[in-house]
Structure 1
């Protein structure tokens, strides 16, 4: 009897948004200035190797508590102008 299995999962990859700079923003969950703009890519993985990306988004992510919030075009424009935004 032969057994074959694949370890399939999902993983999120984050990288800083290059066009908005490195502006610390307010996190409404932990009340710190520790949220930064990131580009998020969610991928399907096989044996922990990313195979198929299926979702792209731009978010604010807190480095302390991990809370995330989505970024709309107005928030991105404010970040490009050097004005911080907040995670709700």
Structure 2
């Protein structure tokens, strides 16, 4: 008797945004200056190997509590100037 199973799932990958620098931003959830701009890529995985990326987003992510918030074009412009923004 032959059978086959596939282990399919979803995984999120975060990479720092290189064009905005490394500006520490304020997190409104844990009240720390540990949020940084990231590029998030969500992928379909097959046996834990990313196969198909299906969602890209630029956002702030807190390294302490994990809270995230979206980045719009005005917030990205402020980060490029070195001005911190906050997660709401």
Same fold (TM over 0.5): yes
Equivalent residue for 1:28?
28
Q: TM-score, normalised by structure 1?
A: 0.98
Equivalent residue for 1:47?
47
Please tell me the root mean square deviation across aligned C-alpha atoms, in Å: 0.5
Corresponding position: 1:6 with 2:9:
no
Size of the aligned set, in residue pairs, is 88
Extract unaligned runs of 5+ from structure 1. none
* C-alpha distance in structure 1 between counterparts of 2:48 and 2:29, whole Å: 30
* C-alpha distance in structure 2 between counterparts of 1:2 and 1:54, whole Å: 32
Question: Could you list the runs of 4 or more consecutive aligned residues of structure 1 that deviate by over 6 angstroms after TM superposition?
Answer: none
